[in-house]
Structure 1
Amino acid sequence: MLGSRITFVAVPWLVLTTQDSALLAGLAGLAEMLPYVLAGLIGGPIVDRVGPRPTAVAADTASVLAVAGIPLLAYCDSVSLGVLLALIALAGALRGFGDAAKRALLPRTLAAAGVSTERGTALYDGICRASTLVGLPLAGVLIAAFGPAPVLLFDALSFAASALIIGILVRVGHADAAALAESEHQGYTAALRDGFRYVRSDRLILGVMSMLFATNMFDQAFATVFVPVWVRESPHGPAALGVIGTAFGLGAVAGNILYTVMAPRLSRRLTVGVCFFLGGPAQLLALALTDRMWTVLVTAALAGALMSTVNPILMASVYRRIPTHLHGRVISVLIAVSWAGIPFGGVIGGWATDRLGLQNAALVAALGYLAVTMAPFLFPAWRELDARTRSESTRAVVAA
């Protein structure tokens, strides 16, 4: 994760410095993320059939070559930009396959380690947020010191380390043998269709997916449009771009640690509902209502602490509801549709800012965020977040 966060900064910078075009730098980001989302979607049935551990090892091993080839091609004068973008797209697709496999591997790893689902997913989310908190500023330092090519080679080494760690150290159980045998005789298209059918039939998963589609769209508008415009129009300077993200990250890591300790005592539905409702639109309202940096930073830190509870609860609840042998295809559909709002967020946010101005656009987005995050309080399906599994009920009886 740390290597991928660094590449998130390094790839657009590499294209910008070698091609001298901001548009092409943005296209490089699209070339990586679109295959990433699509590969995660179409890779679900493959993960279920081959197994998440071998799929993750194979994808990470191939990523070593793909990522290492990007800086080598970038500095070859005879190589066209199209070939470079194709290799970036290949690297994004391989990472999508690998991440889909690791998401399916996570619940089996937690079960083998004897870790509760809430604490395991909270730890996973905390590592994601910590890697972002460390990786983004570290990328800037490394690029300034060594240039983008060595930074990408660091990412290639991180994929090699990941393949070795998973291949050597991770030993987990397998899905139910009968269910696994049934899926092996099923065609690829039928397996992918099963993923969509399962998501459509489960009202809670459908609700989670729909809400995340909308909130990801608002979050992307905030990060890629509203914050840069606010910084440009304020007297704080470009350094504020990184400071706001750092404040959110620090709050998220602190909140994640606190939630890991308190998770067993909290209502999942109320925690998600309250934290999403308050933390999601808070930063949008801060940009719309003030130009004071300290207010925005304090709001970002508090929002990060509140939002740090959301992903662990939703991940744990989704994992509980999906049979083990269907994890790959169902979770891939869930992630792909949830993230589909991201490409639209920047476009809609930019259009709204041009038409309405920053303050009005941020207010509209905040109101939209508030409306969407009312779902856990309004729809009965969300009460199933608090439903206990059989193993949880057994533990509660034994404790009593």
Structure 2
Amino acid sequence: MTTAVPDAEGLAGRRSLRPLGGVLAAMAVSLAGTRVSAVALPWFVLVTTGSATQTGLVAFCEMTPYVVVKAFTGPLVDGIGPRAVSWTTDLASAAAAAAVPVLHALHLMSFPLLLALVALIGASRGPGDLAKEVMVPDAAERSRVPLERATGLTGVTERLAATIGPAAGGALVALLGPLTGLVVNACCFAVGSVIIGLALPRGMGRTTEEAPTRAEAGPGYWRRFGEGLSFLRGEPLLFSVIVVVGITNLLDAGFTAVLMPVWARESGHGPAAVGLMGGVMGVAAVGGSLIATMAAHRLRRRVAFFAGFLLAGAPRFLILASDAPMCAVLAVFAASGFGAGFVNPVLGAVLFERVPRQLLGRVNALGDSLAWAGIPLGGLIAGAVVASVGLVPVLVAGGAAYLLTMNLAGLRPEWREMDRQSGRGAQEEEPEEPGLSTSADLMA
């Protein structure tokens, strides 16, 4: 289960932060680009079609391939290696994202073609995101950084991307139009691919030194897939986490893809407000993640998880439904971001403690995909319901659903295991250093 540091790096007896820095840098640029696109793409569809339903359909067509492809990519990431998967899929994402503004400028863009391109972006993003997550433990070992600190830095990196991306996206859309945001997204994916290809050593993220020697494409793949599925079915806590995160992800997807852009248009605040709210939430989330990283070994995980989710969820829906002034909206989004900063580090700690390293790609792929299964439907449902009953009733219902989900989940007995360090899985040899990592990007 250990990974030797390659001689080519010349790190014998010395620490080099290049592997961990490369993974974090690639994460930062690709996630920032995705966040820019999350503002630019819905606004582009909304202003060109005027339809909340079509805006939700675009989100559906991007996230459905993301979830489905990611679910079945785990065995390939474990077999081929996450480094190769990461740089190739980032390159594919860059090409598909760049095609949207190019075809629009040539007057060749149709709505079905747009749906096909965003589906390709989603299908490429899923494996790329998974591969970067899987490389974090190996990068920490190669850089001789404690896993707890490395995965805490991963959470901070994601939150920084969630801060910079929406703010930049809102500003770009307001000043230069939504297509500029899509160009920036393509550039970010291209830069991420270059970083992974040049900064990281070959074999990065492998759990063993042995390269695959058999061409068992069918049986080998499905056997690895089944091992991950069997492990996940035997973990009631992880399964319960997936259910809760799946429900809240569905609500968040509808909120981000449809409810916020519609609110910005109807309130007259425009796309800059969407970027500002995302930026404020991201800054607060960075602070929450930093505190969670520093206090990881002292936190009661169950309390941090549920308190963070209660802050991160329902208040955002309810404040937009209340017609409150912008200063109050920003204050609520700041509180929500601070709470969200505690959620993913807790989930990462549980994941790395309970999942053996050689199963990490498969289990993480299945867990993320199940947790994200509702995201494609979130925008689709929100768009259809808003078109039928209006924005405010949907915001109120979404906030109520968030509160109900968290309260019902807290009654389940398996959540008590969250506060126990199991001593299993990836940290079996180092129980004094429970890992912190991001299981899924909950605030999608």
TM-score by length of 2: 0.75
CA deviation profile, 1:293-339 (whole Å, cap 9, x unmatched):
43332222112101210011102311332222222222111111111
Structure 1 position 162, deviation (Å) = 1.6
Query: Partner of 1:330 in structure 2?
Result: 363
Cross-structure match for 1:93 = 123
Q: Which of residues 186, 189, 196 in structure 2 aligns to 1:156?
A: 186
**Counterpart for residue 175 of structure 1:** 207
How far apart, in 2, do the equivalents of 1:80 and 1:273 lie? 44
Residue 131 (structure 1) aligns with: 161
1:50, distance to aligned residue in structure 2 (A): 0.5
CA distance in 2, matches of 1:284, 1:16: 20
Task: Give the corresponding residue for 2:247.
Answer: 214
Distance 1:188 1:374, change over 3 A: same
Residues 1:49 and 2:79 are matched in the alignment: yes
Over 3 Å counting, the alpha-carbon distance change for 1:356 and 1:160 in structure 2 is: closer
Indicate conservation of the 8 Å contact 1:248/1:302, yes or no: yes
Matched-pair contact (CA < 8 Å) for 2:63–2:375: no
1:163-200 superposed Cα distances (whole Å, 9 cap, x missing partner): 23222323446314689789967433343333333222
Question: What is the distance in 1 between the residues matched to 2:46 and 2:388?
Answer: 29
Structure 1 position 339 matched with structure 2 position 372: yes
Consecutive unaligned residues of structure 1, counting only runs of 5 or more, are: none
For structure 1, which segment, 328-337 or 275-284, has the greater mean C-alpha deviation from structure 2 after superposition? Answer: 275-284
How far did residue 15 of structure 1 move? Answer: 5.8
Asked if 1:384 corresponds to 2:417, the answer is yes
Structure with greater helix percent: 1
Counterparts in 2 of 1:360 and 1:63: CA distance versus 1, 3 Å:
closer
Distance in 1 (alpha carbons) for counterparts of 2:82 and 2:241 = 24
Q: What are the Cα deviations for residues 365-399 of structure 1, in whole angstroms up to 9, with x where unaligned?
A: 43432332236643332233233334554569xxx
How far apart are the structure 2 equivalents of 1:367 and 1:297? 20
Instruction: Look up the equivalent residue of 1:220 and give its one-letter code.
Output: A
Secondary structure at the aligned position of 2:145 is classed as coil
Show CA shifts across 1:213-232 (max 9, x none): 11112323444555566667
> Where do 1:269-348 residues align within 5 Å?
269-287=302-320, 291-346=324-379, 348=381
Give me the whole-angstrom Cα distance separating, in 1, the residues matched to 2:214 and 2:38: 39
Q: Which amino acid aligns with 2:151?
A: T
Query: Equivalents in 2 of 1:200, 1:183: separation in Å?
Result: 28
What TM-score does the superposition give when structure 1 sets the normalisation length? 0.82
Matching residue's letter, 2:92: A
Moved more, 364-373 or 20-29: 20-29
Q: In structure 1, how many angstroms separate the alpha carbons of the residues matched to 2:99 and 2:385?
A: 39
Change (3 A) 1:287 1:57: closer
Q: Counterpart amino acid of 1:93?
A: A
Q: Closer, same or farther in 2 for the Cα pair 1:129/1:202, shift >3 Å?
A: same
Query: Equivalent residue for 1:203?
Result: 236
Residue 3 (structure 2) aligns with: none
Q: What residue in structure 1 maps to residue 64 of structure 2? A: 34
- Asked if 2 retains the 8 angstrom alpha-carbon contact of 1:121 and 1:313, the reply is no
**Distance of aligned partners of 1:294 and 1:5 in 2 relative to their CA distance in 1, 3 Å threshold:** closer
Q: Deviations over 1:222-244 (max 9, x none)?
A: 4455556666776x744644443
The percentage of counterpart residues that share the same residue type is 36
1:83 and 1:303 map into 2 onto residues whose CA distance is 36
Aligned mates of 2:163, 2:386 — CA distance in 1: 28
Structure 1: how far apart are the matches of 2:211 and 2:419? Answer: 27
- Aligned position for 2:26: none
Please give the per-residue CA displacement for 1:273-295, whole angstroms capped at 9, x wherever unaligned: 22223443233344456634433
User: Residues 66 and 291 (structure 1 numbering): CA distance in 2 closer, same or farther, change over 3 Å?
Assistant: closer
Q: CA deviation at 1:253?
A: 1.8
The total of aligned residue pairs comes to: 394
CA separation of 1:215/1:180 partners in 2, compared to 1, >3 Å: closer, same or farther? farther
Shift of 1:211: 0.4
Q: 1:373 to 1:28 in 2, by over 3 A?
A: closer
* Ranges in structure 2 where 5+ consecutive residues have no aligned partner: 1-30, 435-444
Q: Which amino acid aligns with 2:135?
A: L
Question: Structure 1 residues 68, 103: CA separation in 2 closer, same or farther (over 3 Å shift)?
Answer: same
Stretch moving more, 248-257 or 189-198:
189-198
